[in-house]
Amino acid sequence: MITAPFCAAADWGTTNFRLWLLDASGGVLAERSSGQGMRTCLPDHSFNAVIEEHLKGLDAPADLPVVVTGMAGARGAWKEAAYLDTPAQLDALHAKAVRVEEAQRDVRILPGVCQRRKGREDVMRGEETQLAGACAEGRRSGLFCLPGTHSKWVRLQEGRLTEFTTFMTGELFALMTGHSVLADMIAKGTGDSTSPAFADAVSEMLGGTALTGRLFSIRAASLLANDAPDARARLSGLLIGAEIAATREALQGDAAATLIASGAQAGAYETALSVAGVGCGILDGHDLVRRGLYSAALALWPERSAT
């Protein structure tokens, strides 16, 4: 006997799309993913066509409801789901979900979270759903790090998202690698976060150094030695070290941070945190976002889960 799906759940980011069919207990019946992120769908406003195509590919019933998180809810994207202000109750994301009228089925987009404090303005879309997933797994308090193009460091207190800071770490790494005077050196670099140069650079930043006053040393060291094997590892260490140096005060109250990451990125942040003497647990972002979407779906469609 084939289990009937309870709902579909989509994580719709800037550059990626991911869809799951879930059963009533949150188990994965089927899944698909593609590069059809918001950026791909914006020009033709093809959100509805894209999601229906993937639902069809998974043989989803025509009346199956869908819960969505991420950039699909940005202003000007599929349909704007206004930000919740901090402090934001993460088990109540569903209460502010918006319904997409143009869809043939019941589609709800979860809101992002914003912080309005002057000079500390910040926004997220998608990460709050990962964190809602962490709450659902019992991780309701503490400091969470979500590395990426725009890394987020987030404080949870009893299931409420109280404050957060975005670091442009990944974007700066890409800009430096692609367009800066360091690009040649970085392209030649062979090191990674297991290189001593990575840990050394993290240490330097923990010493209270200004990032912009260290980046050029990568170029200078290469000119002086006529070689730059560590350029890439050093740039990565300086950038990630800057994040940890900035959050160190917040870290001191915690036994450990929770890292929501995987692969090489998780390894790099784990190493950098250990240089700072901070332990960390690692959770998988895809699992968490699916868990957060499932929790919201349970609250949105209680009658479906009861059947």
Of 69 and 177, nearer to a copy of itself (C-beta) is 177
The b/e string for 58-94 (b: 16+ C-beta within 10 A; e otherwise) is bebeeebbbbbbbbbbbeebbbebebbebbbebbebb
> Minimum distance between the CB of residue 167 and a copy of itself, rounded to whole angstroms?
5
> Minimum distance between the CB of residue 146 and a copy of itself, rounded to whole angstroms?
13
> Minimum distance between the CB of residue 198 and a copy of itself, rounded to whole angstroms?
13
Of 176 and 288, nearer to a copy of itself (C-beta) is 176
Sign, CA torsion 257/258/261/263:
positive
Of 8 and 88, nearer to a copy of itself (C-beta) is 88
Q: How far is CA 267 from the centre of its chain?
A: 16
Instruction: Please give the residue ranges that form the binding site for a copy of itself (CB under 8 A).
Output: 75, 83, 114-116, 119-123, 150, 153, 165-169, 171-172, 175-176, 178-181, 200, 204, 209-217, 219-221, 223-224, 239, 242-243, 245-246
Of 242 and 300, nearer to a copy of itself (C-beta) is 242
Strands in 142-146's sheet, in edge-to-edge order, are: 88-89, 160-167, 151-157, 142-146, 256-260, 279-283
> Minimum distance between the CB of residue 118 and a copy of itself, rounded to whole angstroms?
8
> Minimum distance between the CB of residue 151 and a copy of itself, rounded to whole angstroms?
9
Of 33 and 217, nearer to a copy of itself (C-beta) is 217
